[in-house]
Each structure stands twice: as C-alpha cells, then as structure tokens.
C-alpha cells in the first residue's frame, strides 16, 4: 500500500478542543447547529457549513459548499489553523473505556482505491457521494479523514509505541469521556520506516467513510483529466485517512427499529416468528444477545430472545452467516414487508452507543412498533467479506470511538 506524508493544516494547541468536532454524518443539521452554537471555532462550521447559513438554505446548494471553504479560510486567517512547514505523518490515539487504538494519519492513494487494494464492504449512495464530492472539490481539501483498518503489523506497532513515548501535541478528553491524543511525526527516518512498512501490506479496509473515500477518488480523477501536465504526484492523487491495526478495533451492534407490524397483532407476529426462531420471553429487563444467530427483540413492553433455528442461515457463506442477513431475510421481508433497507421509510437504525434503552424509548413512545438488538459483526467477518468482493447489507457496522474532525486537514 502506498501512503504519503503531507503538510497538514492543524489547530493551535490552545484551541484544539474547541475546534474538534464529531464527524459530519453522525449529526443532523439541527443537532450540529445546536452543538456549534456560540463556538466560532467548531469544525462543524466547515464540515456541515449549512449551519452557518439561514435554516431554509438547501443543504446541497453550491452556497453551502462555498461557505465550508470560506469558513475554513477564516480559521486559517485568524490563526486558529496553521500549516506544518514540512511533510509529516501523524499518530492519533483514542482511548475509550480503557481501550486504546492507535491510528497512523497519512494520505492514502487514489490509485490504490481504484485498483481495489483499498477494500470496501458497503455500497455508496450517489446522492451522498455527490455531496461529499462537492465539498472536497469546492474547498480543494479533505476536511475529514476516513477510517481505515490494516492487518496488524508488529514493526508498525513498535514504531508507533516509540513515538508515543514523546509528549503529544494534543491531549484532551471530550464530553463523551473519550481521550484523544495526537503526535506529529516529523523525523525523516520514522516517516520512511512507516511508509516502507506499508509498502509490504497487501490491502487496507474502509471501516468508516465509504462516501468520503469514493468522493476523494472521484475528485482525484476529475483533476487528473483537467491537468494536461499530470504526473501522478500531485496532492489530489491522495486523500486523508487514519489507518488502525485491525486487532485494536471494536465493532458495536447496529440495531433495527420498525414503525409497524405490517398488519400483525403482537401475538400473530410472535406466532410468525416461531417458524424460524426459538422464541423465549425475557420480561421487561433489556436483553442483549450474547452470541451469533441470537437476537433481542422488544415488542409491546416485553423483551424476547430469538434463537435462529438450523437452516435459517448459511455458515459457509460470508453474507449468509451475518445476523443482519438473517433478520432481513427471515423477519423483515416475509413478516414485515420491508425489502429495501436503503429506501424503506418504515425502518430505522440505532447505533450501539445509544444502547438498548434507546430501542425501548422509541417503541414505548409509539414512534416504533418493534425493535431488534443484534450481535455485533466481527472484524474477521468484515475483512472476509471485503476480501471476497462481496458487500454487506446496509447499516451493519458501527465503530466506536469515532474520530474527531478538525485535528488535521489535507489541502490540495
């Protein structure tokens, strides 16, 4: 794999905690507007720039993307962001509940993505691709990094641990009690060692950020075509990524809630489930599945355990073995008439960090009729699927902790 050092734009240390924001896609516009209120340095003003325009503004208008560009330029002009004078790599550590994961921040190669060496496990939506493409193209920068995994490598682990013995340039804890630490790697021999180690890695994997990855590649291709003197070394041939060893990552459950029972009563729905599942009532205490092919279900104020019967799954198929596949094929389609998870408005998805209480809340409020708690996918399953060239069903993986945006920016 080819990675590249770059001259990053970074916030000055005294302002980094005010700048750092959650990623653009974990907040809607109103939540982002509220979170950034009274904080002119919040990076949400750059990655969700509609919050700095009148509320009625079309979120996909060119005015929004121009605002993102201008808002970043303002942060540079005011001295909130400064550019490193030399090409660097960076180390970004996140610590959640005592678990540390150490990312190498570098520019990944558009060529590697186009050649399939950067492997994906999700389909992208054209509208979201176009949104991020416009953001990148107009601002001429990768404002937010994508989140990659790579096969754990002892030599890289050793280099990272050596760098971590020095004092970080940033160290702060966010409101969700996650610690963020960040180091600048500016020693030539360390940079060269990291780049050389990556050359021996056969593939990396998109963990989070499929739309940003695709958008960066599309912009890179466009700029190549427009540049008659294209050499392949221009900065637009690369995009911002944080690379984590796969053995340090955790995937949380990604659960489902459905608005109605498709004409069923709770009893007839439970009866319908017995064809494919052993159904056990668990009472009012939230029930979290403890193994593959087991589900928690919240219906009419009660929790149930659903154990898929033999024949309901295919352990020899990378997709068929997934619990998200079982619940889609054996519950959502036949019983609830939900066939397209991407477009059906009757289903919604709840990331694991929100917890099982959020499933209860949405059903008890009457907004939803039933909730399903799933056992999380493993990193091995994700890598096996990506290696096979197959695609996971939508909303399968939820990685925590999330990267904070605004710690470093790659400009073209």
In tens, the pLDDT along 113-172 reads 999 999 998 888 788 889 999 999 999 999 999 999 999 999 999 999 999 999 999 999
Cβ 81 vs Cβ 10: under 8 Å: yes
- Encode pLDDT of 334-357 as tens digits: 999 999 888 899 999 998 778 899
- Encode pLDDT of 40-50 as tens digits: 999 999 999 99
Query: What is the reported pTM?
Result: 0.89
CA distance 338 to 392: 17
Cβ-Cβ contacts under 8 Å for 132 (sequence gap 6 or more): 211, 212, 214, 215
Query: What is the overall mean pLDDT for the chain?
Result: 94
Name the range with the highest mean pLDDT among 209-213, 216-220, 296-300.
296-300
Angle (deg, nearest 10), helices 188-199 and 154-163 = 160
Cβ 159 vs Cβ 190: under 8 Å: yes
The pLDDT value given to residue 393: 82
CA distance 210 to 215: 9
How far apart, in Å, are the Cα atoms of 353 and each of 24, 47, 270, 291, 358?
17, 22, 28, 19, 10
> Region 25-30: what's the mean pLDDT?
88
177 conformational bin, left if phi > 0, alpha if psi -120 to 50, beta if neither: left
The pLDDT value given to residue 134: 94
């Amino acid at each position: 794999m080819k990675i590249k050092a770059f001259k990053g734009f970074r916030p000055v240390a005294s302002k980094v905690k005010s700048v750092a924001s959650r990623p653009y896609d974990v907040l809607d516009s109103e939540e982002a507007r509220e979170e950034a209120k009274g904080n002119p340095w919040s990076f949400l003003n750059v990655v969700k720039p509609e919050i700095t325009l009148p509320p009625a503004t079309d979120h996909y208008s060119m005015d929004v993307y121009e605002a993102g560009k201008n808002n970043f330029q303002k942060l540079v002009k005011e001295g909130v962001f400064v550019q490193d004078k030399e090409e660097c790599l960076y180390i970004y550590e996140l610590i959640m509940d005592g678990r540390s994961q150490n990312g190498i921040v570098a520019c990944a190669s558009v060529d590697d993505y186009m050649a399939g060496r950067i492997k994906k496990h999700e389909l992208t939506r054209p509208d979201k691709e176009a949104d991020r493409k416009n953001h990148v193209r107009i601002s001429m920068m990768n404002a937010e990094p994508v989140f990659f995994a790579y096969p754990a490598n002892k030599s890289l682990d050793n280099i990272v641990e050596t760098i971590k013995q020095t004092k970080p340039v940033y160290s702060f804890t966010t409101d969700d009690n996650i610690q963020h630490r960040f180091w600048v790697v500016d020693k030539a021999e360390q940079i060269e060692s990291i780049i050389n180690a990556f050359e021996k890695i056969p593939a990396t994997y998109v963990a989070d950020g499929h739309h940003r990855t695709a958008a960066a590649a599309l912009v890179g291709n466009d700029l190549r075509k427009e540049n008659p003197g294209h050499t392949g070394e221009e900065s637009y041939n690369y995009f911002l990524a944080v690379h984590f060893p796969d053995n340090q990552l955790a995937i949380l459950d990604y659960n489902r809630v459905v608005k109605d029972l498709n004409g069923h009563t709770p009893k007839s729905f439970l009866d319908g489930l017995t064809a494919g599942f052993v159904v056990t009532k668990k009472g009012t205490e939230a029930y979290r599945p403890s193994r593959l092919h087991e589900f928690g279900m919240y219906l009419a104020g009660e929790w149930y355990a659903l154990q898929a019967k033999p024949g309901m799954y295919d352990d020899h198929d990378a997709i068929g073995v997934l619990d998200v596949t079982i619940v889609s094929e054996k519950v959502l389609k036949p019983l609830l008439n939900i066939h397209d998870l991407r477009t059906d408005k009757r289903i919604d998805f709840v990331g694991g960090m929100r917890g099982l209480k959020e499933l209860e809340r949405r059903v008890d409020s009457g907004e939803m009729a039933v909730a399903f708690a799933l056992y999380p996918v493993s990193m091995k399953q994700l890598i096996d699927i990506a290696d096979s060239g197959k695609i996971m069903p939508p909303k399968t993986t939820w990685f925590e902790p999330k990267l904070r945006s605004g710690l470093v920016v790659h400009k073209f």
